[in-house]
Amino acid sequence: MMRRGFSLVGMLMTLICIGVLLAIALPALQQGMTGMKEGGGKAAVSGWGLQDQVNLYGLMQTLNVQALGSNEGFPQPSVISGSRDISEDTTANLYSYLVMQRYIQPSQLVSRSDVVWVEPDEDYDWSAYDPRGGVYWDPSFSADLSDISNVSYAHMPLYGDRLRDRWGKLSSSFPMFGNRGPEDGIESMESNACFDGFWGGYVTFGDGHVEFFDSPDSFRRSLDGGGADGLFSVDDEDRHADAILGFTYRMDRGGPVLQWD
């Protein structure tokens, strides 16, 4: 009786076929999950991108509903505390207050595409809230890109004419929050905000809608006095009326000290 079995050649052919199929499928699977295109750049539709859209959309909708319901506008740390000290208007304090008020959960502040320096604040202390004692957010919440940050998303710096004229306004063209980007909008292999040297991300505007940009240059807006208004650069140092998303590491009398990785 003849016995049938696997030959060495047959096994090798099977392994070769599996390897070819994986080589074809993996780039598509990677793009579908992370959004990274083969050869560089990011795609608008991906699993990680969908999470960013949901997180940013949910945050803006919550803020808009709260602002319309209370008629008090968007929160500003120095106003909330009553100190009027602009040094409190940092990225860490802003997001920590939003978590304290349950506008967003700590896990929703971290993007899946942000794999360096960023981790959720799993020990956020909601019990620290003590208005009588002047405590309105958990001070241990971190937004330090040189160490460990509990948040991925950049925001509009709370200073200058942009704060007076844009913060809390239902604008369809002025960015409020979004994926963080490289300094001066210059893509590079050194920036942790870029993948393989390319940037792509989602931005939510004052009216709550979210847009995808496949490069910093794809955001096109003109300054009131002329010239281009970059998404990740300070282009109006006099009035601070330009659109910009970043991390305010420290707030000085002259304006925000922005942090880039």
Read off the pLDDT of residues 31-55 as tens digits, 9 standing for 90 and up: 444 445 555 555 555 677 889 999 9
Neighbours of 204 (CB within 10 A): 26
Separation CA 252–CA 248 (nearest Å): 10
Domain count, the chain: 1
CA angle 102, 104, 109 (to 5 degrees): 145
pTM of the model: 0.83
Instruction: Please check whether residue 34 lies inside any domain of the structure.
Output: no
* Residue 161 phi, psi (nearest 5): -65, -25
pLDDT of res. 12: 61
Separation CA 104–CA 122 (nearest Å): 13
Confidence of residue 64 (pLDDT cuts 50, 70, 90): very high
Helix (H) or strand (E) holding 91: helix 91-100
More confident residue, 249 or 36: 249
3-class DSSP assignment, residue 160: helix
165 has a pLDDT exceeding 50 = yes
239 has a pLDDT exceeding 80 = yes
Instruction: Please check whether residue 13 lies inside any domain of the structure.
Output: no
List the one residue out of 68, 251, 76, 52 whose CA is nearest residue 154. Answer: 52
**Residue 117 neighbours by CB under 8 Å, 6+ apart:** 145, 146, 147, 148, 149, 192, 261
Separation CA 222–CA 226 (nearest Å): 6
pLDDT per residue as tens digits for the range 108-151? 999 988 867 899 999 999 999 999 999 999 999 999 999 989 99
- Residue 68 sits in which domain range? 43-259
Largest CA distance in the chain: 93
Instruction: Please check whether residue 154 lies inside any domain of the structure.
Output: yes
Separation CA 258–CA 70 (nearest Å): 30
Instruction: Please check whether residue 125 lies inside any domain of the structure.
Output: yes
Separation CA 181–CA 170 (nearest Å): 23
List the one residue out of 61, 38, 35, 59 whose CA is nearest residue 49. Answer: 35
Instruction: Please check whether residue 19 lies inside any domain of the structure.
Output: no
Separation CA 51–CA 54 (nearest Å): 5
Separation CA 152–CA 132 (nearest Å): 31
